[in-house]
Amino acid sequence: MSAATNQRPSDGIQLYVGVVVGSGADLQAPCILGKPPRGVAAGQLPLTIGDDALVGPFTTIYAGSVLGDRLRTGQGASVREDNVVGDDVSLGTNAVLEPGNRIGSRVRIHTGCFLEMTTVEDDVFVGPHTVFTDDPHPAGCPRYRDCKGGALVRRRSRIGANVTVLPGVEIGEDSLVGAGSVVVDDVPPGAVVVGNPARVVKAVADLTCPPGFFERPYVWPPYAGT
């Protein structure tokens, strides 16, 4: 499906010039695809969305991004320009991707999350209302884009609800960040961190499954994007 109009059709789906959507898409009205960023003309930047996408109502995806196959968005998701998103990614209701994110495949970004200039590798789970910051001195530093930037989230890490991640932090592979934590320092691979500021309390390998369903948590396959 390729769009060459910026008019809102009667079904409530607005497709701007330069939007290419793969086969099997379910675009749920009202939604806007290919909205030009400020100062950019319609059609100047392309928007590509892969096959079998489900774009929820009230979602806006700006021009200038590439999103992979089987994208899922909840209601009111917002994806700005300069985002690259892999396959089998879920963006929850009211999740916001500001510019500059690089998201791997099989990633779940839950309701109300905020990311900017953040790199997220494959098979990562991000709990509801997690915020990734990118500016160490907010409110107007003219050089902030040359400073720390966003976090780096390594593959198969899991982040609980209501977590705040400070600029430039690296969250290690296979780690777990407890709900409500404020992450100010790098998280070692395989570690469990909790608190404000977040501190290592144990290893993921030491976690237990109280009901006894599994030998321990995370022996199951990584999140599969469903």
Residues 32-78: tens digit of each pLDDT: 999 999 999 998 999 999 999 999 999 999 999 999 999 999 999 99
d(C-alpha 182, C-alpha 86), whole Å: 27
Torsion of CA 169, 172, 175, 177, to 10 degrees: 0
Query: Residue 147 — very low, low, confident or very high, per pLDDT cuts 50/70/90?
Result: confident
Query: Residue 226 — very low, low, confident or very high, per pLDDT cuts 50/70/90?
Result: very low
In the prediction, which pLDDT does 155 show?
97
Query: Residue 219 — very low, low, confident or very high, per pLDDT cuts 50/70/90?
Result: confident
Q: pLDDT for 9-18, tens place per residue?
A: 548 999 999 9
Residue predicted with more confidence, 78 or 213: 78
Marked catalytic residue, from 137, 145, 202, 216: 137
Residue predicted with more confidence, 29 or 145: 29
Residue with the two structure tokens 């009901």: 211
In the prediction, which pLDDT does 136 show?
77
137 catalytic, yes or no? yes
In the prediction, which pLDDT does 9 show?
52
The three-class DSSP label of residue 177 is strand
In the prediction, which pLDDT does 8 show?
46
Residue predicted with more confidence, 98 or 138: 98
Rounded to an integer, the average pLDDT of 119-131 is 98
Rounded to an integer, the average pLDDT of 131-157 is 84
In the prediction, which pLDDT does 146 show?
74
Distance of CA 205 to the CA centre of its chain: 26
Query: Residue 225 — very low, low, confident or very high, per pLDDT cuts 50/70/90?
Result: very low
In the prediction, which pLDDT does 101 show?
98
In the prediction, which pLDDT does 1 show?
54
pTM for the full predicted model: 0.91
| Residues sharing a CB contact under 8 Å with residue 13, sequence separation 6 or more, in sequence order | 27, 29, 30, 31, 33
Residue predicted with more confidence, 225 or 57: 57
